A = this chain, B = another copy of it.
Amino acid sequence: MRPTVHDIAAEAGVSLATVDRVLNNRPGVRSVTRNRVERAIATLGYVRDVAAANLAKSRSYPLVFILPSGENAFMRGLESELRFAMSRSAAERLDITILSVPAFDAPALAAALLDARKRRPAGVAVVAVEAPEVTEAVKRLCEDGVSVVTLVSDLPGSGRDHFAGVDNVAAGRTAGSLLGRFLGGREGPVAVLAGSMLVRDHRDRLEGFRAVTSEDFASRQVLPVIEGQDNPLLVEKLVGALLERNPDLAGIYSLGAGNRGLIAALEKAGRAKSVCTIAHELTPHSRAALLSGTIDALLNQNAGHEVRSAIRVLKAKADGLPVIAAQERIRIDIFLKDNLPLEQE
């Protein structure tokens, strides 16, 4: 049987009240006595029963999630995963509030962070936009003792506790490697289509892609980056022009969103099969394109995992428990038409 506070009291030869004072470091315990209790804890291998403690405290975990609004399919998937987690959160004493903020809008995001702060949550998860005012707001939260997890897009230098997202440099490298190997000896330049260079994850992916291309496929020409603002219509226009300008285009790496435009442009130009295409994020559109062969490989981050990981980490931080790094690492999924999971997920 696991030892309880009573066992510690007996072992240390003190009263329950004193054990409680030590465990919850309340004042009024001489250091000799404190030591005795701590020794008892160590020898018996006592571990606080978090469930019982939470019950006694009627503890709940008020969390705030800040997500971008807009029609970005990945973000909407993220939100739906979050709502699902909320629906079954009853058993976990979670009390989650969602705040929506226009995408790429740093002032609005900073304001939302201040709003979140007023609610005195135990933790905040935020899809970060890299801007000084956002960094500042996150810093403020951390100083207040609120745990902060960045979600999908990181915010280095803000003091956030954890990043729940993929290694985007590695993602870019992987895309470059796959594209290079899929093309083999085939001639022609490759293009990179990004959303915006203002977001950290896109910059990281580009960096990784360029690095691996120059290391391993030095002879391959990489055309200047196209920024499609994650907007399908704009993307379609820009890719259409790109295809016209480059009749010998061998491959495209689309590292942002707006894949609907990319797919449309490729198919309209009749180049769906001849241009090797690697894109990000599994959505109904990109899934269909992968199956039809318009897209050759998809890199994906599992939104459900990211949400659950963020919640786990925030809870652990609130309880002062350690985080298991290996468990919280969000992996880069690589999907070919052959290992696509079933639709319903």
Contacts and interface: CB of A to CB of B under 8 A. Distances in A.
A194 to B, nearest CB: 19
A304 B324 CA distance: 11
Nearest to A319: B91
A144 to B, nearest CB: 25
Contact of A181 (B170, B181, B304): B181
A336 B54 contact: no
Nearest to A305: B327
A311 to B, nearest CB: 12
A94 to B, nearest CB: 11
Interface in A312-345: 324-327, 329, 331-334, 336-339, 341, 344-345
Contacts of A50: 91
A7 B100 CA distance: 34
A142 interface: no
Contacts of A208: 338
A55 interface: yes
A46 to B, nearest CB: 9
B47 A90 contact: yes
A2 B90 contact: yes
A116 to B, nearest CB: 22
B339 A174 contact: yes
A49 to B, nearest CB: 7
A146 interface: no
Integer count of this chain's copies in the complex: 2
A308 B327 contact: yes
Contacts of A47: 90-91
A125 to B, nearest CB: 18
Q: Which of A178, A185, A338, A341 counts the most B-chain CB atoms under 10 A from its CB?
A: A338
Contacts of A171: 339
A338 B176 contact: yes
B308 A329 contact: no
A185 B185 CA distance: 9
A32 interface: no
A51 B325 CA distance: 26
A181 B90 CA distance: 48
A67 B325 CA distance: 25
A18 to B, nearest CB: 23
Nearest to A184: B184
B345 A174 contact: no
A259 interface: no
Interface in A53-99: 54-55, 88, 90-91
Given A88-B324, A177-B336, A302-B331, 17 more contacts: A2-B90, A51-B52, A51-B55, A52-B55, A167-B339, A171-B339, A173-B338, A174-B336, A174-B339, A181-B181, A182-B184, A208-B338, A304-B326, A305-B327, A308-B327, A325-B345, A329-B345
17 contacts: A50-B91, A51-B51, A51-B54, A55-B55, A171-B339, A174-B339, A176-B338, A177-B337, A178-B336, A185-B185, A208-B338, A304-B326, A304-B327, A308-B327, A326-B345, A331-B333, A332-B339
Interface of A: 2, 47, 49-52, 54-55, 88, 90-91, 167, 170-171, 173-174, 176-178, 181-182, 184-186, 208, 212, 296, 302, 304-305, 308, 324-327, 329, 331-334, 336-339, 341, 344-345
